[in-house]
Amino acid sequence: MSFQNAVFIPGPTNMPEKIRQACSMPTIDHRSPIFGEILNPCLDGVRKIIKSEDAHIFIFPSTGTGGWEVALTNTLSAGDKVLAARNGMFSHRWIDMCQRHNLDVQIVETPWGDSLPSDQYEEILKADINHEIQVVLATHNETATGVKSNIHAVRGALDSANHPAMLFVDGVSSIGSMDFQFDNWGVDVAVTGSQKGFMLPAGLAIVGFSDKAMKRKHTAKLPKTFFDIHDMIKGYSSNAFPYTPPVGLMNGLKVSLEMIFEEGLENVFSRHYRIAQGVRLAVDAWGLKLCANSIDVQSDTVSAICTPEGFNATDIVTRAADKYGMAFGVGLGEVSGKVFRIGHLGMLTDAMMLSGLGVAEMVMLDLGLDIKLGSGVAAAQEYYRHGN
Ligand SMILES: *Cc1c(COP(=O)(O)O)cnc(C)c1O
C-alpha cells in the first residue's frame, strides 16, 4: 500500500496533513487549563458549523453510532414512542438501536432512493392526538443511497400537526459538508462524527442538544453512564471530561474547524456541490443512473451509482482496490451488489475527483461494462473548468 491515492469512500475521508499533525501531539495533563484551550474552541466551532446560537455541544470518545445512543439515552425511557422512516442502511441502524433500547418505533417503510416522507410524517403526527410520539428521527443524508432529505420540511410536518415531539437529526455525513441549520430547522438533537465532514480519523461522536432536549434530564430513564451528558457538563465546567478525553483527536478537531472557517463555511458547501455535480455529470455520460430517485434529493457528499441488472457492483470496488489501489464504497443492505458508491466529502479538490472518475472508468471497462474511457472525466472537466 503506497497510500498515494485519495480514497473515495463516504467516510472516513482524506485527511489534510495539517490535521494529521495536529492529532499527533505530545501528552498534556487533561485536567490542566491547557485542555480548555482545545475543548472550548471545539464546542464553539461545532455550534457555528451547525448554525446555532446556543445549542449545547457534547463531544464523546466514540463514533456517529455512539452519538445516536447519546441522543436516545439522555432523552427517552423504555416504551417511549418514536417515529422514523427507513430509506437506507443508516436510518435502518438507528431504528434498530431504538428497538434494542426497547423504544416503540413506528416505522414508515420508504423506498431506498427516496428522501424522508414528510407528508406521511405529517399525517401520522396529526393522527397522534394524545401526543404519544416523543421523537421524530430524520437522517439528513442517507449515506447508503446518496439521498439527502429536507429537514426543514420535516420540521414543517411537526409544526403543521402542532405536535410537540422532538426532532432528532442524523447529520453524520452532512454536517460540515452540506448546509445544516440547527436553529432554523428547530432541531432538538443533531448527531455527527469526526471522520466525515471534519476530515479526522474516526473516534469522536459530536452531538448538539436544544434546551428542550436538555430538559428531558429528569424523565429520561434509559440507562447511560459513559454517554451521560450531565456528567459531561460537570466535566466541562472545569475544562475537563468525566474521564480521559481523546486530546489528540480533539486538537485535530480544533484545527479542522479553523480550516473550515478559513475556507468559509458557505465556500465549503459550494465546493462539495461543485465536486458532486461533476460526478453526477460523469455518471450521466457513462449512461448510468444514481440510486437517488430525483435531482432535488441528490447528495453532495456521496453518490450511489446503479450498475446494470445482472452485474455485481461490488466487483467494481474489489477491482479498483486490487488493480489500481483505489477505494470506492460498496452497496449496503438492500442495494448491496446493485450500487457502488463514490464518496466525495471532506478534503477533496476537483483534480483529486478527476483521478477517481478516471479509475472508475478503467475498472468498469475492465469488467465489461460499455463505458467509453474519458467520457465521464471529460464531462466533469468541462464543468470544473467553468465552476466557481
Ligand atoms: C457514517 C454514518 C453513521 C455511522 O457513523 P459511525 O461513525 O460509523 O458510527 C451514521 N449515520 C450516517 C448517515 C453515516 O453516514
- Tell me how far the alpha carbon of residue 222 lies from the centroid of ligand 1, in angstroms: 22
d(CA 3, CA 89): 28
Which domain does 339 fall in, by range? 265-386
Distance from the first to the final alpha carbon of the chain: 35
Low-confidence ranges of the chain (pLDDT < 70): 1, 388
Percentage, residues of the chain above pLDDT 90: 98
pTM of the complete model beyond 0.85 = yes
Do you find a cis peptide bond into 12, omega within 30 degrees of 0?
yes
Q: Is 139 in the pocket of ligand 1 (CB under 6 A)?
A: yes
Is the domain of 229 the same as that of 276? no
Q: How many domains does the chain have?
A: 2
CATH code: domain of residue 326: 3.90.1150.10
Is the domain of 127 the same as that of 98? yes
Ligand 1 atom closest to Cα of residue 141:
13
Any domain includes 191: yes
Per-residue pLDDT tens for 334-351?
999 999 999 999 999 999
Ligand 1 atom closest to Cα of residue 195:
7
Is the domain of 307 the same as that of 190? no
> Residue 342: which of 320, 323, 324, 312 has the closest Cα?
320
Per-residue pLDDT tens for 244-255?
999 999 999 999
- Tell me how far the alpha carbon of residue 343 lies from the centroid of ligand 1, in angstroms: 13
Is the domain of 212 the same as that of 126? yes
Ligand 1 atom closest to Cα of residue 202:
7
Any domain includes 212: yes
* Burial of residue 109 (number of CB atoms within 10 Å: 0-12, 13-18, 19+): exposed
- Tell me how far the alpha carbon of residue 108 lies from the centroid of ligand 1, in angstroms: 20
Is the domain of 54 the same as that of 177? yes
Any domain includes 330: yes
Q: Which helix (H) or strand (E) holds 167?
A: strand 166-170
